[in-house]
Amino acid sequence: MSWHDPSQQPATEGALPARPMWGSIGRGLRSRCPACGEALHHHRADDAPAYFVILIVGHVVVPAALMAEVAYAPPYWLHAVLWLPLTIGLAVGLLQPIKGAIVGWQWANYMHGFDPNAETEAGAEAGPVSR
């Protein structure tokens, strides 16, 4: 039994139906909604997209720059001309798909506002509002 696969978890009373995780992540990578008509205003991706973009871009640009330095020893201005636009382009180009993938993953796992039971539980705990 895998902890990340909701279809493998035992059924409990009031359990939510399993959602396709990889399909949701794939739709998010393509900047598509994980479920057409789903409200996305309440999702919380926080800093995760930026973290993953930095991780990916760093693992692409740093080794490439080091290999270019060792093989050709270009002047620093040429490094700047090559690597700054590549770094900015990759970061800007990957940010939206990575954020979409994270939102799709959250939707598939009923996280951060995508759990229909969480709203009723939060409302019940808060109690009535008096003015």
Kindly tell me the sign of the dihedral angle through the C-alpha atoms of 15, 6, 34, 93: positive
The two structure tokens encoding residue 85: 């636009």
Give Cα 84 to chain centroid, integer Å.
Answer: 24
What is residue 43's three-state secondary structure? coil
CA-closest candidate to residue 21, choices 103, 97, 96: 103
Tens of pLDDT, residue by residue, the chain (131 residues): 444 554 555 445 568 899 999 999 999 999 898 888 787 777 778 899 999 999 999 999 999 999 999 999 999 999 999 999 999 999 999 999 999 999 999 999 988 778 888 755 444 454 454 44
Contact, 98 vs 27, CB < 8 A? no
Domain ranges of the chain: 45-111
CA-closest candidate to residue 104, choices 47, 16, 20: 20
Q: CA-to-CA distance for 129 and 131, rounded, in angstroms?
A: 7
Q: CA-to-CA distance for 95 and 29, rounded, in angstroms?
A: 10
